[in-house]
Structure 1
Amino acid sequence: MSIFLKALAMLGAFSALMQAAGAAGIVGVRQVSAHSGERRADLEVTVWYPALPGGTPVVLGESVFFAGTPAMGGAPIAGGRFPLVLLSHGAGLGGSPAAMSWMAAGLASRGFVVAAPTHPGNGGAHRSAEETMKLWLRPRDIGATLDAMIGAPDFKDHLDAGKVGVLGLSMGGSTALALSGGRIDPDRLAGYCDDAARNPSLCEWVRLSGLDLHALDMREAGRDNRDRRLGFAMAIDPAPVDVFAADSFAGVSVPVEIVNLGPPDKIPQTAKAGGIAAAMPHGRYLNVEDASHFSLFGLCKPGAAEMAEQEKIGDPICRDGGGRSRQDIHAQLVGLAAAAFARELGVGR
């Protein structure tokens, strides 16, 4: 079969999957629980999915700065089986599944089930610098979520067996890289904030919290967090990437797609990942030059930029890289992710 005919076949299969999600592309959302043996606690998991009419209108991810994303709480799940995308969120203002709802809902409307655990201590009222910097715990949260989804009564009969991938945004991107086989170098992580300029907002928070990374128990930091049940990993503006052992990526066997945001000469070193993609046997690298790391946040409300400045947030959370709107950038990123997961997981085959 020619490349052109293969592309047509894939497009047809993907279109059929989208139609199975419902003619209106309805997105449902529910909460499930995933037990983490390592954390000795249950994780809250938000699940977006293709739905049928019904449920209660909800908006996820809305804050004083950002507009939220609508979904239908408790809506009936559409018939059929769908690929599963495990989503890992970032830290700080992006430190919750709801903050990534624009991506999750976008993928669900295109025929994917998306499950995102809350990484404890990475955001919200109980945010903790120490828990945030224990990067090696995050991949196990994703593994626990996969365990829960496989057995969840509401979803187990709607998952396409073996078609599972992980998507990470910002710090979640580093989590996705760890799940694919990248290993943290404990010494690099311990010295991460020795030069605060590497990540000014994060390292300033670490300093103000009184956390000494050199004193953090790093005995498990360099472990192998690879999850061989995952068929594909995608990381969008992963950070920090400069805490990994560079030679660990040569052993990554699954396809990995990495997307950086911003002009190549403006991407911070802690997020620049082109070299990592090149080091992987099946790595792929894309660059969206007219975006910025802050494009991963939700759509800013009117006056949000001024309010963030007054609140001394420190980062230009409403600033994107070029002349395009954040809405357009989100649409592109959702499209890139949907196409990548459809391609790599073999949607419809």
Structure 2
Amino acid sequence: MKLLIKLATLLCGIISPVLMAHNSASASEFVGVRQISAPSKERGSDLAVTVWYPADPGGKPVTLGESVFFVGTDAMLEAPISRGKYPLILLSHGAGLGGTPQAMSWIATPLAKQGFIVVAPTHPGNAGANRSAAETMKLWLRPADITATLDAIEKDAPFKDSLEAGKVGALGLSAGGNTVLALVGARIDPIRLASYCDTDALNPSLCGWVRQSGVDLHAMDMKLAGRNNEDRRIQFAMAIDPAPVDVFQTNTFSEVSIPVEIVNLGRPGKIPRTALASGIAKAIPEGKYSTIEDASHYSMFGVCKPGAAEIADSEKIGDRICSDGGGHPRLEIHKQLVNMVTEAFDRALKTEH
């Protein structure tokens, strides 16, 4: 458990309502959640996919993302989807403790409440009982999971009839941010990825796990690592504390053709090198960069339960999973992030009237 939590700490990773109109989305009082499957030829199996959506009353109350450490988020299982057309946000989660769609419910649920359909596949091997250091390091497979999910949601009733045509965005947190950057056209450098764990300078927790698992990145088959994973259906992308960002071919960022917003969590000089993305934002023609200085990489986790920090200490985790680096509570940081993300996707995807 200690190793899983340590890995997770480095990988995971005023809203204005929009009035209902033809071909547009509106804020909803209720959020529904459903599970669907996305066939994946590359994985050789179906992906488990979680969908959050604006809902009418009904369904069964559920709490998603709750653990011994973190408070969960409420939604209504199998609630009827509200009538209307909604933009789609493809959500990519991190690895380790943040390695499930449910762990991202704190941001997915309010986005659905504000008139988006949010859909997130489970990236195989990145967390849980089947976690694998080798699979986690196959970063080039994650974008294909998102593309397969988009293929599935566009065909899945009732969601296919509730999607606003051509309004697709992507949001990634931590390792999911790496995924989103690949989806918009950035390409991984196989040589950089192979040498990522040659020392502990970039990511000691992750690389310690990789070595303990007997994984030699130099021996890993990376013939597909440098491929182009761009999905041109995506119109806008946002990455929050993307990691690792230092495994890309830097020249490919200048070829990104859509707007991309990147948010780093922490003060300048305190942001881990493997997540620092200010230079990447500058290299993207329509890139935008901002920081939340009172936050940390841990701020992407759920709100900590009372006593969670003490439990982490008793496990000798060594990472302050309940610390946010400043004087603001995590709940306030989450509200700030939700506002930033909602406003960004509103600008990019909501139909103007």
Task: Please give the range of the TM-score, normalised by the shorter of the 2 chains.
Answer: over 0.9
Amino acid at match of 2:30: I
2:119 corresponds, among 92, 96, 115, to 115
CA contact 1:87–1:168 (8 Å) conserved in 2: yes
Q: Whole-Å Cα distance in 2 between the matches of residues 348 and 200 of structure 1?
A: 47
Could you say which residue in structure 1 is the equivalent of 2:96? Answer: 92
Query: Tell me, what secondary structure is at the counterpart of 2:124?
Result: coil
Q: Whole-Å Cα distance in 1 between the matches of residues 289 and 237 of structure 2?
A: 12
Q: Whole-Å Cα distance in 2 between the matches of residues 13 and 164 of structure 1?
A: 19
Counting helix residues as a fraction of each chain, which structure ranks higher? 1
Q: Whole-Å Cα distance in 2 between the matches of residues 281 and 224 of structure 1?
A: 18
Counterparts of 1:10-89 in structure 2 under 5 Å? Answer: 14-16=18-20, 20-22=26-28, 25-89=29-93
2:136 corresponds, among 132, 135, 147, to 132
Could you say which residue in structure 1 is the equivalent of 2:237? Answer: 233
Tell me by how many angstroms 1:196 deviates: 1.0
Counterparts of 1:253-332 in structure 2 under 5 Å? Answer: 253-332=257-336
Could you say which residue in structure 1 is the equivalent of 2:9? Answer: none
Tell me by how many angstroms 1:12 deviates: 7.9
Query: Tell me, what secondary structure is at the counterpart of 2:332?
Result: helix
CA contact 1:239–1:270 (8 Å) conserved in 2: yes
CA contact 1:258–1:277 (8 Å) conserved in 2: yes
> CA-to-partner distance for each residue in 1:234-276, whole Å, 9 max, x for gaps?
0000000000011010000010000000001100110000100
| Structure 1: segments with no counterpart, 5+ residues | 1-10
> CA-to-partner distance for each residue in 1:261-298, whole Å, 9 max, x for gaps?
00011001100001000001100001111100000000
Query: Tell me, what secondary structure is at the counterpart of 1:239?
Result: coil
Amino acid at match of 1:241: V
Q: Whole-Å Cα distance in 1 between the matches of residues 236 and 317 of structure 2?
A: 35
Q: Let me know the Cα RMSD of the aligned residues.
A: 1.4
Higher relative contact order (CA 8 A, sep 6+): 2
Could you say which residue in structure 2 is the equivalent of 1:153? Answer: 157
Query: Tell me, what secondary structure is at the counterpart of 1:115?
Result: strand
Query: Tell me, what secondary structure is at the counterpart of 1:201?
Result: helix
CA contact 1:253–1:281 (8 Å) conserved in 2: yes
Tell me by how many angstroms 1:16 deviates: 4.0
CA contact 1:20–1:79 (8 Å) conserved in 2: no
Q: Whole-Å Cα distance in 2 between the matches of residues 21 and 348 of structure 1?
A: 15
Tell me by how many angstroms 1:197 deviates: 2.5
Tell me by how many angstroms 1:310 deviates: 1.5
Query: Tell me, what secondary structure is at the counterpart of 1:202?
Result: helix
Given the superposition, is the C-alpha separation of residues 88 and 12 from structure 1 closer, same or farther in structure 2, using an over 3 Å criterion?
Answer: closer
Tell me by how many angstroms 1:347 deviates: 3.4
> CA-to-partner distance for each residue in 1:159-207, whole Å, 9 max, x for gaps?
0010001000000000000001110000000000112131111111111
| Structure 2: segments with no counterpart, 5+ residues | 1-14
1:196 corresponds, among 183, 189, 200, to 200
2:348 corresponds, among 339, 344, 349, to 344
Identity of aligned residues (%): 65
CA contact 1:201–1:315 (8 Å) conserved in 2: no
Amino acid at match of 1:20: S
- Normalising by structure 1, we get a TM-score of 0.94
Given the superposition, is the C-alpha separation of residues 12 and 318 from structure 1 closer, same or farther in structure 2, using an over 3 Å criterion?
Answer: closer
Q: Tell me the matched-pair count.
A: 337
Q: Whole-Å Cα distance in 2 between the matches of residues 104 and 171 of structure 1?
A: 17
Could you say which residue in structure 2 is the equivalent of 1:8? Answer: none
CA contact 2:17–2:114 (8 Å) conserved in 1: no
Tell me by how many angstroms 1:210 deviates: 1.1
Could you say which residue in structure 1 is the equivalent of 2:255? Answer: 251
> CA-to-partner distance for each residue in 1:74-132, whole Å, 9 max, x for gaps?
10101100000000000000000001010100100111000000000001111100000
CA contact 1:29–1:71 (8 Å) conserved in 2: yes
Tell me by how many angstroms 1:150 deviates: 0.3
Tell me by how many angstroms 1:13 deviates: 7.9
Q: Whole-Å Cα distance in 2 between the matches of residues 347 and 271 of structure 1?
A: 33
The answer to whether the aligner puts 1:166 opposite 2:161 as a matched pair is no
CA contact 1:21–1:51 (8 Å) conserved in 2: no
Q: Whole-Å Cα distance in 1 between the matches of residues 352 and 255 of structure 2?
A: 29
Could you say which residue in structure 1 is the equivalent of 2:217? Answer: 213
Amino acid at match of 1:66: F
